[in-house]
Amino acid sequence: MNAFAKRAAAAAMSMVMLFSFSSCGKAEEAAPEETASARVTVDGTKFMVDGKELWINGCNTPWHNWNDFTGNMDAEFWDGAFAQLAEDNINCTRIWINCAGESIIRLKTTGEIKEIREGHWTDLDKLFEMAEKHGVYVMATLTSFDHFKEPNAGYDKWRNLVSSKELTDAYADTYVAEFCKRYGSNEYLFAIDLMNEPDWVHENAECGQLDWNGLSYFFGKCAATIHENSDTLVTVGFGMVRYNSDKYEGNIVSDEHLKEVTGNDKAYVDFYSPHFYMWEKPYFGFPYSGSPTDFGLDGTKPTLLGEASNDDEKESKMTLTEEYKAAYDNGWNGVMVWMDPVEEDYSWYRYDLTRTATNAMYDYIPDKVYPIGKKAAAETAAE
């Protein structure tokens, strides 16, 4: 080999080595592959996760002990509950964060917040860690008609709170904003349900028969506060479609109404979650036989059944599995059946029926129950 050839070969070898080292360096410097986000968002009338549609294959596990989260929650029970839900392909559960009274939020006679129990936050830290660990979304219900119901402790104080714009503002700024700051970054906080069945606060004498104006302001102000402090979705769990529909008494939580009463463009709910039980059928129809718009909703947002019976087969003439499938086929975005806690064996009422339906739905639409895959969901939760 002549000198020129030797020099050319050496140069070529140098270039190969330089390219190899350069490539190696680039490989080492390459950013790690991003984990799919489990955050639920809204696109039109669908729930989405990482660009894929999510169907809420859900239930209610409202409480183990009334007002669980005061600083004395049964962590072993709740961890086991989440594990069981995940095993049965239940991807979301509705939990009452505050059931009634003043054991969590103490109020002055006027309705002004006196104190928020520190143990409440300690318990919720554990709860949302468990949700993330097991990959189960939580719809967190912050208040209920029970807060306003006589003779429950503090009922008159809660009535005063929602009847005052100033006190509602203080509640939103003090409690709701803090809730969002603490848990809004947890991707398994699916949504905040501002109040369980406010219908009875308006209709029933024992709950005060409060005017919708004050309640609407409460919903609008709290919704705006959530949207200003987090990406968490917002809803209100009406006991019946009557106050969630222009077909009946009007949609109390329409975008136009909430923005009008608050003067805030961030005052809106992200989806509808009316409740349904068979006593309602003669008045408002049967949700499983048609679409959300057929049932009276406006068709502008995702819509799921936030509560429904898991054992109404005799009245509905449908098994629970058939009801879940009918809801999906008719364009509903999910079903969350009600289950009272059964203290004797630390379980839930007719959980056998619920698990049969949710497992059947997983077999039916696995890619929508776990849009990023069940394994991926678990890995995301473990990160």
Structural domain includes residue 18: no
The 233-237 sheet, strands edge to edge: 233-237, 189-196, 137-141, 92-96, 56-60, 334-337
Q: At 322, which CATH number?
A: 3.20.20.80
- Between CA 319 and CA 322, with CA 321 as vertex, the angle to 5 degrees is 65
Of residues 253, 332, 333, the one with CA closest to residue 286 = 332
Q: How many domains does the chain have?
A: 1
d(CA 214, CA 195): 13
Residues 6 or more apart whose Cβ sits within 8 Å of residue 289: 326, 330
Amino acid at position 86, single letter: A
Structural domain includes residue 32: no
Structural domain includes residue 33: no
Structural domain includes residue 13: no
Per-residue tokens: 169: 């503002």
Structural domain includes residue 36: no
Q: At what angle do helices 374-382 and 118-134 cross, to 10 degrees?
A: 140
pLDDT at 377: 52
pLDDT at 27: 42
Contact 140, 189 (CB under 8 A): yes
d(CA 54, CA 269): 18
Question: Within a 13 Å sphere around the CA of 119, how many CA atoms are in the beta-carbon half?
Answer: 11
Contact 52, 367 (CB under 8 A): yes
Q: How far is CA 166 from CA 113, 160, 197, in A?
A: 11, 11, 23
Please identify which residue in the block is written with the tokens 């594990």.
83
Query: In a structure prediction context, what are the per-residue pLDDT tens digits for the chain, which is 383 residues long?
Result: 443 344 444 444 444 444 443 444 444 444 445 688 999 999 999 999 999 999 999 999 999 999 999 999 999 999 999 999 999 999 999 999 999 999 999 999 999 999 999 999 999 999 999 999 999 999 999 999 999 999 999 999 999 999 999 999 999 999 999 999 999 999 999 999 999 999 999 999 999 999 999 999 999 999 999 999 999 999 999 999 999 999 999 999 999 999 999 999 999 999 999 999 999 999 999 999 999 999 999 999 999 999 999 999 999 999 999 999 999 999 999 999 999 998 777 789 999 999 999 999 999 999 999 999 885 555 555 55
Structural domain includes residue 30: no
Long-range contact set of residues 154-158: C-beta below 8 Å, sequence gap at least 24: 154/101, 154/102, 154/107, 155/207, 155/208, 156/109, 157/102, 157/107, 157/108, 157/109, 157/110, 157/111, 158/107, 158/111
d(CA 194, CA 121): 18
pLDDT at 329: 99
Cis before 198 (ω within 30): no
pLDDT at 347: 85
Contact 197, 144 (CB under 8 A): yes
pLDDT at 343: 77
d(CA 92, CA 188): 9
How many beta carbons lie within 10 A of that of residue 349, not counting itself? Answer: 16
Structural domain includes residue 29: no
d(CA 159, CA 165): 12
Of residues 251, 249, 254, the one with CA closest to residue 269 = 254
Domain of residue 197: give its range.
41-382
Model pTM score: 0.90
Amino acid at position 116, single letter: I
Structural domain includes residue 11: no
